[in-house]
Amino acid sequence: MKVKYIVAILLSTQLVYNSCDDMEFLQIKPDSLELTDDRIKTVDDLEKLLLGAYNGVRSSGFWGGRTLRGFDVIADDGIADVATFEWVQMSAHTMNLVNAVGRDTWTATYNAINMVNQVAFSDLGESILAGDPQKETQFKAEASFIRALGYFHLVRAFGLPYADDTKNVPEMGVPLRLRGVMDRATAFEIVQRSSVEDVYTQIISDLEYAIANLPKENKVDLGRATVDGAKALLAKVYFYKHDFVNAAKYASEVVNTQKYDLDEDCISKFARAEKKTTTKEVVAMIPSASLIEDSWSGLRDYRTNGLALPTSRPSNDLIAAYDKDNDRRFNAFYKNIEGQWYTIKFDYEHMDGIIIGYNELLLIYAEALAESNGNIEQALNALQKIEKRAYGIAKTTIADKNTIIKAVQKERRLEIALQGERLFELKRLKQSVRGEAWDSHKVMFQIPDVEQNGNPDVKMN
């Protein structure tokens, strides 16, 4: 097939991989060039495109922070002190098809998915990689990781929550696009929404392939997918699928490597990119090397060290959930300015985009073990690691299933606050989202107009 165009979602992506100072960060420089058949001829060309997909993960609508901030505003952890249309909608649970944050979430995430599909799951990509079996396996594994992360992001934002009574509702997941769009003829192929169950099945399949085939030399600080990162993400996917046996299994495989640990200072993992702090707590991330390559730039509206007060802040409900006198996290991450609480968790000029940390994984491990009637002492030990850092002591001392689950769910909110997880925690636990039912369509982003224009029969939320 002679490829004349890469559709609009791929414009501006000639990419290079180089180093900065003495750190081998993944750095991607857009060059505003259209990729055509003259651009994609070699394995090196495909690698540039793959690096472009990693760059796409740090975009504001994917893992770059603005959508994560939006999730917390829709839930009960974040407040947006702005009167702009999209944030007013999220605060009021009235998102529509032109909501800018929802629109960006859809387009940015599908852009990254399409790029990895072009690299590893398209006629052109497959024909180029056929001559290099080692690169073929590597690229497909990395592409599978990014695609899995993308569909997990999308199905949680636009689909029904995973539960027995919602998982098989027809067309209430997201469209599964598994082949790269390479020309205008295929750019607008009709792909209807899959069920939530089918989307999760695809995510799990992609992560299993990634785990089996990712290069062992990939390291988290280089910014490319790793086996441990894929296992940690798979544990999280199973956790939200309520498959606690498998969640505990994959979490334990990462925990038992003993490569990761809680930093003594809970700030270190957030300060790493700018302050060069050492951390053992990050399992998967998109690293940042400079202000113009800030992987979590979408969280900037929380920051208190700018020229004006932040336009986003923690809710009073979140602040009240902390033990202000005894929880070290509170003093580390929150600040009162003129009678109002703000977060200083993200007060850096540039930050790594943390996909999953060891702290979150420990809490997944503890709850999954308890829920699946696994080793209750190991569950308690994992929880106590979080508690000892937060409070200086282990607050939970009874190896009782229900006690551990309750304590873990409390710590999940406090430990990963304002990182975009609270909305899905409420849905997972079937709890009210500021007065709306856990499965209400009002707390889902709406399928945007950009999809409807080319797919007019797509089922709406």
What is the largest distance, in Å, between two alpha-carbon atoms of the chain?
66
- DSSP-assigned beta bridge partners for residue 23: 20
Q: What are phi and psi of 384, to 5 degrees?
A: -65, -30
Structure tokens at 77: 């952890």
**What pLDDT is stored for residue 10 in this prediction?**
33
> Cβ atoms within 10 A of the Cβ of 438, count?
18
How far from each other are the two terminal CA atoms of the chain, in whole angstroms?
Answer: 37
**What pLDDT is stored for residue 188 in this prediction?**
61
The whole-angstrom separation of Cα 5 and Cα 11 is 9
Q: What does the CA dihedral 286, 290, 296, 302 come to, rounded to 10 degrees?
A: 160
- 373, 380 in Cβ contact below 8 A? no
The whole-angstrom separation of Cα 281 and Cα 451 is 38
User: Who's near 460: CB < 8 A, 6+ residues apart?
Assistant: 97, 446, 447
**For helices 227-240 and 244-255, angle between their N-to-C axes, nearest 10 degrees:** 160
**What pLDDT is stored for residue 183 in this prediction?**
65
Secondary structure percentages of the chain, helix, strand, coil, to 5: 50, 5, 45
Q: Which of 128, 97, 108, 162 is nearest to 3 (CA)?
A: 128
**What pLDDT is stored for residue 453 in this prediction?**
86
Q: For the chain (length 461 residues), average pLDDT per consecutive 10?
A: 29 32 32 49 94 96 97 98 96 97 97 96 95 96 98 98 97 95 68 96 98 93 95 98 98 97 97 96 96 93 90 97 97 96 97 98 98 97 98 97 98 98 98 98 95 88 93
- 289, 365 in Cβ contact below 8 A? no
The whole-angstrom separation of Cα 13 and Cα 30 is 5
The whole-angstrom separation of Cα 401 and Cα 381 is 13
- 219, 225 in Cβ contact below 8 A? no
**For helices 85-92 and 100-120, angle between their N-to-C axes, nearest 10 degrees:** 100
**What pLDDT is stored for residue 456 in this prediction?**
86
Instruction: State the alpha helices, DSSP H only, in 159-241.
Output: 184-187, 196-213, 227-240
User: Who's near 324: CB < 8 A, 6+ residues apart?
Assistant: 330
**What pLDDT is stored for residue 31 in this prediction?**
33
Structure tokens at 161: 């929550």
